[in-house]
Amino acid sequence: MSTKLRILVPVKRVIDFAIKPRINKTQTGVETKGVKFSINPFCDIALEESIRIREADKDKVENIHAVSIGPTKAQDVLRTALAKGADNSTLVDVGDEEVEPLSVAKLLQKVVEKDNSNLVILGKQAIDDDANQTGQMLAGLLNWPQATNASKVEIDGDNVTVTREIDGGADTLRAKLPLIITTDLRLNEPRYASLPNIMKAKKKPLEKLKASDLGIELVKRIETLKVVEPPVRNAGIKVETVDELVSKLKELKAI
Amino acid sequence: LETLAFIESSGAKISPASLSSVTAAKAIGKPITALIAGPHGAVIASDVAKVDGISKIILAKGDQYDHYLAEELSPLIKELLDTNTYTHFVIPASAVGKSVLPRVGALVDAQPISDIVKVESEDTFVRPIYAGNALSTVKSNDKLILTSVRASAFAPAPLSRDAPAPLEEYTASNASGNRTEFVSEDLVTSERPELGSAGKVVAGGRGLKNKETFEALIEPLATKLNAAVGASRAAVDSGFCDNSLQVGQTGKIVAPDLYIAIGISGAIQHLAGMKDSKTIVAINKDPEAPIFNVADIGLVADLTEVVPELTQKL
């Protein structure tokens, strides 16, 4: 008998990927008022993977727990996760302050211990701070194996084989449970939540905690001094022919 | 008070990204000790000894460091950081760096700063957020500062030392406890310059329509220019070329002297990966394509006609 999976899927609420963020007037961050927020796309892929693992072998998965660490409004992404297939969810309400990856990992470590999770699937990074840290940190704190940037996950009993996207190609790692996996873009294409499932999700559990309930004090190690727009690149010229293009390239000493 | 810089190999050479991270380490201003590991580490040792800015080398020889598994490297790095007077640890923001750095952060209880593009001072760095749509200047209050370095933002350090830096072998005192097993790797081999550090890049997008056209048009132009081949996410997802060629937020971030975008519309996530290129050329039949907003030279034309012509006339 192989171990049943108790999967934890952390999900982050971020500015929707289709929206171009605007810097706020005080240059301390990006404007969040009146902006659409969604589940971080890589977290969505992580959630999808956990649901597919269950769909492939229904008896293998005991529980899929979605957790979000964020503001009160992060409930919305948890409802979406429940509608897609998570069994239960937890919001660690940390208010509107940005929480650093190390603190997030420490909070998740507590949830893993409480839940007795044996597989954590996370997005490789959140598309707001682009840090790409939380999964690896959680693996370090728990002293678990880690497989980052997964493009394929195969589970056979307690053995998990993960193909990863690396510089210049792919590699394959194998580890026994428990394990941390972070997802890359090509692992799967997440589903949409159906209306009946959205309705049903309203009845699924959504637990609300504070960081202090998990015994973690949120400490800031990094100070953001300013946030600015990158230098704007102006459109150059249009040429009509290849000859013009070649002479322009020579003029710019690009060739 | 020194900086420990992890130097990665790429085949039998120092990875170009590692040389860029040495440049970032030099900007921090402390003496630099290079850490090299595994059988590949031993191979690059004599080259690392010549890298400008490196004053000492630590070689951790063990075979367990082959493939640079984070589970093996992180305890080694923690041990070195714990038993020496390092104030900084620097690693390239490569697949290895991204995997290793946060795990080290967890072990030494420090909050790393990933993907820096500028060193303002020894504790203050600039890094892109929101796919490069914003630049954030951040100051670390950690005693030990851990950073990964975006290669395209720093020139590679030259191999210009006359007297080689001294080398010391190191064996970790504690076992790593690693339970991850490396199975295999499938790397795309190419005669071309490496995409992440190439001086010229020819990239193709959805406009190429299929794999055959991609190969027939992009490859000869890249060969003529001695350029690396890149691609948009759309081209990769449509199977025109390998994943590892993807340029963009989720792929490679490049900043070559010349970037030629062919049949690429210019989605935000693609622009995030190439908009710091020095000269950008766009060839696209759609005059409204957003790529033209960042291109220095734009040519609105049918790429099947003009690309072979361009290849021939260069």
Of A48, A92, A56, A63, whose CA–CA distance to A5 is shortest?
A63
Contact at CB, A255 and B134, closer than 8 angstroms = no
Listed in order, the ranges of chain B carrying CATH 3.40.50.1220 are 195-313
Of A150, A154, A171, whose CA–CA distance to B186 is shortest?
A171
Contact at CB, A222 and B139, closer than 8 angstroms = yes
Contact at CB, B136 and A235, closer than 8 angstroms = no
CA distance B167 to chain A (A): 28
Listed in order, the ranges of chain B carrying CATH 3.40.50.620 are 2-169
By residue count, chain A amounts to 255
**Greatest distance between any 2 Cα atoms in chain A:** 71
- Mean per-residue pLDDT for A104-128? 98
Distance spanning both ends of chain B, measured CA to CA: 51
- Tell whether B132 lies on the interface with A, counting CB pairs under 8 A: yes
DSSP SS3 for B15: coil
CA distance A111 to chain B (A): 16
Which residue carries 């908009």 as its tokens? B275
How far is A34 from B272, CA to CA, in rounded Å? 24
Residue B196: the pLDDT is 87
Find, in chain B, the residue whose alpha carbon is nearest to that of A249: B297
Residue A235: the pLDDT is 83
Residue A233: the pLDDT is 86
Whether the predicted pLDDT of A88 surpasses 80: yes
Tokens of A39: 């589940």
Residue A1: the pLDDT is 58
H helix intervals, A190-233: 195-201
Q: Which residues of chain B have pLDDT under 50?
A: none
- Tell whether B267 lies on the interface with A, counting CB pairs under 8 A: no
Contact at CB, B134 and A131, closer than 8 angstroms = no
- Mean per-residue pLDDT for A180-188? 96
- Helix A101-115 and helix B95-108: axis angle, to 10°? 70
Let me know the angle formed at the C-alpha of B268 by B263 and B269, rounded to the nearest 5 degrees.
Answer: 90
Q: Does domain B195-313 have CATH number 3.40.225.10?
A: no
Find, in chain A, the residue whose alpha carbon is nearest to that of B245: A168
Full set of structural domains in chain A with CATH: 5-227 (3.40.50.620)
CA distance A97 to chain B (A): 16
Of A136, A129, A131, A138, whose CA–CA distance to A105 is shortest?
A138
Indicate if the alpha-carbon torsion angle B62, B64, B65, B67 is positive or negative: positive
DSSP SS3 for A133: coil
CA distance B100 to chain A (A): 8
The helix (run of H) or strand (run of E) holding residue B212 is helix B211-225
CB B232 within 8 A of CB B247: yes
Q: Is the peptide bond before B256 cis (omega within 30 degrees of 0)?
A: no
DSSP SS3 for A71: coil
Residue B194: the pLDDT is 87
CB B265 within 8 A of CB B205: yes
Find, in chain A, the residue whose alpha carbon is nearest to that of B309: A242
CB B177 within 8 A of CB B64: no
How far is B43 from A83, CA to CA, in rounded Å? 53
- Tell whether B142 lies on the interface with A, counting CB pairs under 8 A: yes
Contact at CB, B310 and A131, closer than 8 angstroms = no
ipTM, two decimals, is 0.96
Contact at CB, A146 and B99, closer than 8 angstroms = yes
How far is A103 from B276, CA to CA, in rounded Å? 32
Residue B61: the pLDDT is 93
Find, in chain B, the residue whose alpha carbon is nearest to that of A234: B294
Tokens of A239: 């040429």
- Tell whether B131 lies on the interface with A, counting CB pairs under 8 A: yes
Which residue carries 């959140």 as its tokens? A126
Neighbours of B177 (CB within 10 A): 9
Tokens of B203: 């990239």
Superfamily of domain B2-169 in the CATH hierarchy:
HUPs (3.40.50.620)
The pLDDT confidence band at residue A129, using thresholds 50, 70 and 90, is very high
Residue type, A205: P
- Tell whether B185 lies on the interface with A, counting CB pairs under 8 A: yes
CB A212 within 8 A of CB A177: no
Of B50, B46, B55, whose CA–CA distance to B26 is shortest?
B55
**Which residues in chain B are closer than 8 Å to A170, comparing Cβ atoms?**
185-187, 243-244
Of B105, B123, B114, whose CA–CA distance to A130 is shortest?
B114
- Tell whether B186 lies on the interface with A, counting CB pairs under 8 A: yes
